[in-house]
Amino acid sequence: MIHVRKLTKRYTDMRTGDFTALAGISFDAMPGQIFGLLGPNGAGKTTTLRILSTVLQPSEGTAVVNGFDVVKNAEQVRRQIGFVSTNTAIYDRMTAWEMVQYFGQLYGLPLDELHRRMESLFERFKMNNIRDVLGSKMSTGMKQKVSIVRAMIHDPPVLIFDEATSGLDILAAREVLKTVEQVRDHGKCVLFSSHIMSEVQRLCDRVAIMHRGSVLAEGTIEELSDQYDEQDLEELFFQLISASEKQTDAHDLVDTVFTQ
């Protein structure tokens, strides 16, 4: 469903020159699966997901979503995905109903079908009480619900959640996680990025641990546990990251010695 190959993204930074946000990562995510991207802040999770949602263009490498290339068929890709991120807010001066309807129309859904879907989604997410509430008057949890419904309105085969629970209280977060599970059970391909271990452990069928723009390890949680002989995901994560940091430091040292 999602095939990422040697995806690279470089930015020019005034201070450091070329900055590599993604250093050639590869992974595959399948339908009916939740694929987790686990990594500390700045690991490159958001950049990966932005490329998959066609908001950014990769410097090198390819990414194919449901058979469409993110660079060559950007518009088709956007129709295949629902993108929920901390950076995709909802409009303050629009009600929940207007917001979802607007995006449904942008996806080109016929109005009667759109309204049918909206009724069922609003019912399912128990949002009928906030139908006519403006975005500015909603709580963070409500906003996130509207975002999720907005992303699901066109029934996309792929859903991308980028740190979808950040800033939510425990009740709202649980609800979001429940939704993500439901979506997977409907046979969708879900990409879920987070830096919270428990979420990933609970939800994800497969996990890629990312650090400094690279994938350090990838597999099911069981596979990873077996491979690194560590049952606790948090401990495993910490080991991988420290090993990677040491390696980078050693590389830096070698570089420094040789240049001198």
Partner 1 sequence: MKWPNVKLIFFRELRDQMRDRRTLFTVAIMPMVLYPLMGMAMLQVAQFMREYPTKVWVVGHENLPESPPFIIEGELNGDFITPQDARLLQICMSREGDQEFHKLIRQFREQSEMTHAPQLVDQLIQSEMRSRGVDVAVFIPKPIELATEPFDETHPDQQRGSPSIYLFQNTAVDQSRIGAQRIRTALGHWQKALIKETLRENNVRASLIDGVRISEADVADKAGKKAAAWSKIFPFIVMIWSLTGAFYPAIDLCAGEKERGTFETLLSSPAARSEIAIGKLLTVMSFSMATSILNLLSMGFTGLFVVSRMGGTAMGGGLPMVAPPIASIGWLLLALIPISALFSAVALAAAAFARSSKEGQYYLVPLMMISMPLMMVPMLPAAKLDFGSSLIPVSGLMLLLRGLIEGQYSECLKFAGPVCAVTLACCWFAIRWVVYQFNSESVLFRPSERFGVGTWFRYVMRERDQLPSFGSVILLAIVILVGKFFIGFVIQTPLNFGDFAKQTVIILVATIAVPTIMMALVLTRNARKSLKLHRCTLPMACAAVLAAILLNPAFTWFTSLVMYIYPPADDLFLLNETVGNIVSTSPGIWATIAVFALVPAIIEELAFRGFILSGFESMRNRWQAIVLASIFFGITHGVLQQSVITFGVGLVLGLIAIQTRSILPCILFHLTHNSLAVLLSAAEPTVIENSLILKTVLMTTDGVHYQYGMLPGIAMTVLGISLLVWFIRLDGKERPLLGTGVESWIAGFRKSTQPSV
Residues near 64 by beta carbon (within 8 Å), at least 6 away in sequence:
2, 3, 4, 70
85 belongs to the binding site for partner 1 (CB under 8 A): yes
Q: Which of 103, 125, 192, 237 binds partner 1 (CB under 8 A)?
A: 103
What token pair was written down for 48? 């990966």
Q: Give the separation between CA 244 and CA 28, rounded to whole angstroms.
A: 23
Residues 134-193 binding partner 1 (CB under 8 A) are 147, 150
Look up residue 46 and give its two tokens: 């958001």
- Using CB under 8 A as the binding rule, whether residue 228 contacts partner 1 is answered as no
Helix (H, G, I), strand (E, B) or coil at 27: strand
Q: Nearest distance from residue 133's CB to partner 1, in Å?
A: 14
**DSSP bridge pairs for 35:** 191, 206
Q: Closer to partner 1 by CB, 57 or 139: give it.
A: 57
Cα 164 from Cα 147, distance rounded (Å): 10
127 binds partner 1 (CB under 8 A): no
Among 30, 40, 72, 91, binds partner 1 (CB under 8 A): 91
Is 143 in a helix, a strand, or coil? helix
- Answer for which of 32, 40, 72, 89 binds partner 1 (CB under 8 A) is 89
Q: Out of 30, 40, 72, 92, name the contact with partner 1 by CB under 8 A.
A: 92
Among 105, 120, 140, 242, binds partner 1 (CB under 8 A): 105
Q: What share of the chain is helix, strand, coil (3-state, %, to 5)?
A: 45, 25, 30
- Compare residues 36 and 82 and give the one whose CB is closer to partner 1: 82
Task: Give the binding range for partner 1 (CB under 8 A) out of 25-33, 77-85, 164-172, 183-191.
Answer: 77-85
Nearer to partner 1, 81 or 207 (CB): 81
Q: What are phi and psi of 165, to 5 degrees?
A: -100, 5
Reported in sequence order, the residue ranges of 30-139 that DSSP labels E, i.e. its strands, are: 34-38, 60-65, 68-69, 81-85
Q: Which residue number, 70 or 217, has a Cβ lying nearer to partner 1?
A: 70
23 binds partner 1 (CB under 8 A): no
Partners of 85 in the beta sheet? 162
When asked if residue 242 is in the footprint of partner 1 (CB under 8 A), the reply is no
Buried residues in 66-103 as b, exposed as e (16+ CB within 10 A): bebebeebeeebbebbbbbbeeeebeeebbbbebbbeb
Task: Please identify, among the stretches 9-17, 193-201, 216-224, 245-253, the one whose residues bind partner 1 according to the rule CB under 8 A.
Answer: 9-17
- Min dist. Cβ of residue 15 to partner 1 (A): 6
**Closest Cα to residue 170, out of 178, 162, 159?**
178
Q: Does 53 bind partner 1 (CB under 8 A)?
A: yes
Pick between residue 38 and residue 146 the one whose CB is nearest to partner 1.
146
Contact set with partner 1 (CB under 8 A) = 12-15, 17, 50, 53-57, 75, 78-79, 81, 83, 85-94, 102-103, 105-108, 147, 150, 259
